[in-house]
Amino acid sequence: MIASTPIQIERTTTPKPKPPQDKLGFGIYFTDHMFIMNYTAEFGWHRSRIVPYQPITLDPAAKVFHYGQTVFEGLKAYKTADGRVQLFRPDANMKRMNRSNDRMSMPPIPTELALEAIKGLAKIDQDWIPDGEGNSLYIRPFVIATEALLGVQPSLEYQFIVIMSPVGAYYPEGINPVKIFVESHYVRAMVGGVGEAKTAGNYAAGLKAQDAAKDQGYTQVLWLDGAEHKYIEEVGSMNVFFKIDGTVYTPALNGSILDGITRNSVIRLLKHWNVPVVERVLSIEEIYEAGKNGKLEESFGTGTAAVISPVGELNWRGEKLIINGGKTGQLSEKIYNDLTGIQYGKLEDPFGWMIEVH
C-alpha cells in the first residue's frame, strides 16, 4: 500500500464551455477533470491523480467487459446561496462502495483516500456546480476490473475513477408524482444474489422491464421479490415508502435491495419528527388493501437523483391504484423541502450530514 502519497494534479489547458443551465439533464455533460487511481495485487491502490477528463484505454480482454466486476456510487455536491460547496453524506457512499466491493470480490478502497479524491475533484471543478433551484453536481465514483485475462476469477487489477456531471432539477416545476408499474414477470435481484451491491449488472438486468413499463406510460418499475413476486423491493433507482394510517412503512433491508442513503436519511428525519416509521417485509397486496380501505395516504420514492419522488399511481397486474388523488402528499413535500433545505444550506443540519469542500 503506497496509497498515502498525495494526489497528483494535472490541470486541463483546454477548459470546456459550461452547458446552458436549462439544458443540463442528467449525466450528459461532464466537468473538466476526473480522478483516477490504480490497483494491483502487488502495490495495492496507488498513483492517485486528477487529470483532464479524457477517454480511458483498456485491453479488450479487461475483465470488466467480460465478467462485469464493477461497482459504482452516486452522490451530489451542492452550492449554497453564500457560495460554499458541500457534499451530502459522502462518507456513507464510500462505506457502501466498500460493501459493494466486498460482495463483488473487489478490493476495498480506504475511505479517507476516496473522500479525499472526491473532495479534491469537487474543489478543482467547483465552477461546474450549477446555480439555480434544484441544480447540483452529480458525482460518479466507480471501480472497474482491468486485468486482461479471460479466466473467471476476481481480477488482480482495478481502476477507481471519479467523474462529475452538472445536473438539472429532476422536476423543473417542483416535485410531481410519477406513475409506477408493479413488475410481476421480470425479477431484478433476490436474496443470496447481488441486489444490495451497487454493481453494473443489476442495472442492465432491469432495462427490459423498464422499457416495457415506459411503453405503457409508466416512469419506472416497482420490483417484487424474486421468489414469490409478492413482496415489495424497490423502484428502479429509488427505495420506496408508503404512509398508511399515519405510519410510514418501507421494505426492510433484506439483502436484495440497495441500502439507499436517501432512504436512511428519510428514516432519520421521520424519527427526528416523531413520525412513526417501520421497516419490515411489505406485500404489494397489503398496499392495495390499504388503498381500497382509504388508509393509504401517500407513497414516495427516495434516491440521490430525484431526492423525493411522490408516487401518484401504481399498476399491478392491470389494476390501477391512485394514491392521494395523484397529487404530492404533505409529508412527501415536507421531507423534500427539509432534505433539500439541508443540502443547499438553507436549513440547519442537525445530523452533521453536509461535508464542506475547502
Ligand X SMILES: Cc1ncc(COP(=O)(O)O)c(C=O)c1O
Residue ranges in contact with its own copies by CB under 8 A: 25-28, 30, 34, 53-61, 64-70, 72, 103-105, 138, 140, 142, 144, 148-154, 161, 163, 165, 185-194, 199-208, 210-211, 226-229, 236-237
CB 332 within 8 A of CB 310: yes
What is the closest distance, in whole angstroms, from the C-beta atom of residue 304 to ligand X in the complex? 3
Q: Which residues bind ligand X (CB under 6 A)?
A: 74, 234, 237-239, 258, 260-263, 302-304
In terms of CB distance, is 302 or 340 closer to ligand X? 302
In terms of CB distance, is 210 or 304 closer to ligand X? 304
- What is the chain's alpha carbon radius of gyration, rounded to the nearest angstrom? 21
User: What is the rounded CA–CA span in Å between residue 251 and residue 249?
Assistant: 7
Q: Pick from ligand X, its own copies, none: which does 227 bind, CB < 5 to 8 A by kind?
A: its own copies
Q: Which residue type, as a one-letter code, is found at position 357?
A: V
Q: Which helix (H) or strand (E) holds 240?
A: strand 239-244
What is the closest distance, in whole angstroms, from the C-beta atom of residue 272 to ligand X in the complex? 18
Q: Pick from its own copies, ligand X, none: which does 258 bind, CB < 5 to 8 A by kind?
A: ligand X
Cell of 134: 434544484
Taking the CA atoms of 113, 341, 29 and 262 in sequence, report the sign of the dihedral they define: positive
In terms of CB distance, is 36 or 257 closer to ligand X? 257
Cell of 203: 442495472
In terms of CB distance, is 189 or 222 closer to its own copies? 189
Q: Pick from ligand X, its own copies, none: which does 187 bind, CB < 5 to 8 A by kind?
A: its own copies
Q: How far apart are the first and last CA of the chain?
A: 27
Q: Pick from its own copies, ligand X, none: which does 255 bind, CB < 5 to 8 A by kind?
A: none
What is the closest distance, in whole angstroms, from the C-beta atom of residue 218 to ligand X in the complex? 17
Helix segments in 174-321, DSSP class H: 200-204, 207-215, 261-272, 284-292
Any residues with CB less than 8 A from the CB of 168 and at least 6 apart, and which?
21, 22, 23, 24, 25, 26, 130, 134, 135
In terms of CB distance, is 90 or 195 closer to its own copies? 195
Q: Pick from its own copies, ligand X, none: which does 303 bind, CB < 5 to 8 A by kind?
A: ligand X
CB 170 within 8 A of CB 307: yes
Q: Pick from its own copies, ligand X, none: which does 27 bind, CB < 5 to 8 A by kind?
A: its own copies
What is the closest distance, in whole angstroms, from the C-beta atom of residue 274 to its own copies in the complex? 36
Backbone angles phi, psi at 289, to 5 degrees: -65, -45
